[in-house]
């Protein structure tokens, strides 16, 4: 991974949330991190060396998929800008169920390396650490929402709900719906909604005929509003 630097609070202004302007400017001056670039394709986080300590890796741009499974069956998690990762942290070989993750960058990815040195410099500004803890809690919450979506009985409803969830996170909302510029293939979507690929292709065809989803290049266009199943959908706190 080629390394540059990034002004973390400039790229992620919410990390300075609640700080007086003068204090936020001070934090910006010291909260500078290495910017690592991950090429598209399979990624072994351990290939770049040992765990650098600190908070972890904060995704600045691009999208990764984390897969966990055995015997060719996987649970998958889509991660993108704003997510905080600690890919060196695993359950370990001594666990009763030693599932190990596999990582794939589905686009080129850049991450801010919030290592031990960054944590030391950010220590006088506890609000930064609080906001980073918030990111980890939000990741847990997003994963729980995805699990709830996967339990919907119809695959076409799962897909429609999941795409709107991603639109809330990373899409561009407009009067006619939302656009998601994420290369979500039928094969990847089948892993994300826990269904077979042919079933996903059939379900996407149903959604396109209903006029609520269309493929546009590498992305997806969601037409109209969120599905009715989102009404009253409990997205309670973590």
Write the DSSP symbol of residue 173. Answer: E
Same domain, 84 and 173: no
DSSP 3-state of 73:
strand
Written as tens digits, the pLDDT of the chain (238 aa) is 445 999 999 999 999 998 999 999 999 999 999 999 999 999 998 876 667 789 999 999 999 999 987 666 778 999 999 999 998 877 666 666 666 788 999 999 999 999 999 999 999 999 999 999 999 999 999 999 999 999 999 999 999 999 999 999 999 988 788 999 999 999 999 999 999 999 999 999 999 999 999 998 889 999 988 887 666 555 555 5
Tally Cβ neighbours within 10 Å of residue 224. Answer: 12
CA–CA dist 61, 66 (Å, integer): 16
Residue with tokens 């009404």: 231
DSSP state of 224: S
Contacts 24+ apart (CB under 8 A), 201-210: 202/155, 203/154, 203/155, 203/156, 203/158, 203/159, 204/156, 204/159, 206/156, 207/156, 207/159, 207/160
Length of the chain: 238
Q: Whole domain around residue 129: which residue ranges?
A: 3-147
Residues 131 and 185 in one domain: no
Residues 143 and 184 in one domain: no
**CATH number of the domain where residue 120 is located:** 2.60.120
Same domain, 17 and 82: yes
Residue 32 resides in a domain: yes
Helix %, strand %, coil % of the chain (to 5): 40, 25, 35
Q: Are 111 and 58 in contact (CB under 8 A)?
A: yes
The pLDDT score that the predictor gives to residue 184 is 95
Are both 123 and 197 inside the same structural domain? no
**What CATH number is attached to the domain comprising 223?**
1.10.10.10
Say if CB 62 and CB 114 are below 8 A apart. Answer: no
d(C-alpha 183, C-alpha 84), whole Å: 21
Residue 42 is encoded by which pair of tokens? 């399979």
Q: How far apart are CA 80 and CA 78, in angstroms?
A: 7
Using the Cα atoms of residue 19, residue 120, residue 86 and residue 113 in order, give the sign of their dihedral: positive
Does residue 100 belong to any structural domain of this protein?
yes
Contact 80, 169 (CB under 8 A): yes
Based on the domain organization, do 166 and 75 belong to the same domain? no
Count of domains for the chain: 2
163 shares its domain with 178: yes
* β 84-85/101-105 pair status: unpaired
Q: Which residues pair with 58 in a beta bridge?
A: 84, 112
């Amino acid at each position: 991974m080629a390394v540059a630097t990034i002004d973390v609070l400039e790229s992620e202004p919410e990390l300075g949330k609640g700080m007086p302007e003068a204090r936020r400017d001070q934090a910006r001056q010291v909260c500078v991190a290495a910017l690592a670039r991950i090429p598209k394709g399979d990624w072994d986080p351990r290939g770049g060396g040992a765990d650098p300590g600190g908070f972890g890796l904060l995704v600045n741009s691009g999208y990764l998929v984390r897969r966990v499974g055995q015997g060719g069956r996987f649970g998958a998690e889509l991660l993108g800008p704003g997510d905080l990762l600690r890919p060196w942290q695993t359950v370990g070989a001594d666990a009763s169920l030693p599932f190990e993750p596999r990582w794939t960058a589905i686009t080129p990815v850049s991450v801010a390396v919030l290592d031990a040195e960054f944590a030391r410099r950010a220590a006088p500004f506890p609000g930064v650490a609080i906001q980073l803890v918030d990111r980890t809690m939000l990741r847990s919450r997003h994963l729980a929402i995805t699990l709830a979506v996967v339990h919907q009985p119809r695959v076409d409803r799962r897909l429609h709900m999941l795409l709107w969830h991603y639109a809330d996170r990373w899409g561009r909302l407009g009067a006619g719906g939302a656009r998601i510029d994420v290369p979500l293939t039928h094969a990847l979507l089948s892993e994300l909604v826990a269904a077979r690929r042919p079933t996903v292709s059939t379900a996407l065809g149903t959604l396109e005929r209903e006029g609520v989803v269309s493929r546009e290049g590498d992305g997806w266009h969601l037409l109209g509003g969120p599905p009715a199943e989102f009404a009253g959908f409990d997205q309670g706190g973590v």
